[in-house]
Structure 1
Amino acid sequence: MSSWRILGAAVFLSAGIAGPAQADRIENKVAVFSALDKVTARISKLEVEIGKTITFGALRVTPRACYSRPPTEEPKTTTFVEVDETQLDGSEKRIFTGWMFAESPGIYGLEHPTYDVWLAECDKPKTTTASRPPPPPAPVATGEQPNDAYVPPSAQSPDAGPQDDGDIPPEFRRRLRR
């Protein structure tokens, strides 16, 4: 086989295996919400540390995760949040559990008869979590296939779904099933 054919086959194989480039997501320590009190028509900025709870009127807002992307990438700012309402008898009722997206506050915010709460941004980056699968092994120059051929994560098990940063982490998936 000529070296041009081997090179062409290697380029063809690597192009078919490589997926689209994805940015790293940034895990943040603080979720920043905007909250509207419909009685007073006042908008407040709520900065809440992940895992901590803040009270806004009768609502208790607790963010569990807040992810963003680098400024050079397309924005995708998300938070997993739990919102409880204090009832007149003093008990608490969970009124929202789920993801909020800063780019779509009208769709993914909390709408309540007295209050609205939506994600504005994430702040104080903590770490960067790579969202890309590991790169495939380099092709062998002799035209032979390596023994440990690359298998994308979605093909490793039948129930594995897409592995992008839009996936819901397992610890939050359990909470959604409740």
Structure 2
Amino acid sequence: MRLPPPSVQAGNLQRGMAVLRWLDKATARVRTFEVAVNQTTTINTLEFIVRACLERPPEEPPESAAFLDVWERKPGEPVSEVFRGWMFASSPAVSAMEHPVYDLWVLSCKDATSEAPAAPAE
């Protein structure tokens, strides 16, 4: 299911980083990390790109939303799309990534820094 982008109001703030959380359901391992917008990140067999990260201004109810492309690369198999669309920090179940082993969701958006920590490849 593809959802439309969050309401595009003049007050929405575009941010350069997304704060994401990743869960390996097989090991119950959870990681939180920051990813720059338009940076490809790989964790195990999943690869993803955050295309946009929007945040409401402080005077409005809090909400962060990110547009992600997620695909899986398994050795000897064609690349398969896992998720493409908006994820909302306040309502992760509204547009959740469907995968048997991994969960990935948005926690927040923030301004990019000069030394952004990248998620290590596994």
Summarize deviations over 1:107-151 as a string: whole Å, max 9, x none: 2221310000111100116xxxxxxxxxxxxxxxxxxxxxxxxxx
Matched, 1:121 2:95: no
Gaps of 5+ in 1: 1-21, 126-178
Match of 1:106 among 90, 93, 96: 93
Question: Which structure has greater strand proportion?
Answer: 2
CA offset at residue 70 of structure 1?
1.7
Summarize deviations over 1:68-108 as a string: whole Å, max 9, x none: 01222112211111001012315321111111011101222
Match of 2:35 among 48, 51, 54: 48
State the TM-score, normalizing by the size of structure 1. 0.55
State the TM-score, normalizing by the size of structure 2. 0.78
SS in 2 for 1:104: coil
Q: Counterpart amino acid of 2:67?
A: F
Higher relative contact order (CA 8 A, sep 6+): 2
Aligned-partner Cα distance in 2 for 1:38–1:88: 20
User: Larger Cα Rg: Structure 1 or Structure 2?
Assistant: 1
Report how many aligned residue pairs link the two structures.
Answer: 105
Residue aligning to 1:66: 53
Aligned-partner Cα distance in 1 for 2:68–2:59: 26
CA RMSD of aligned residues (A): 1.9
Residue aligning to 2:82: 95
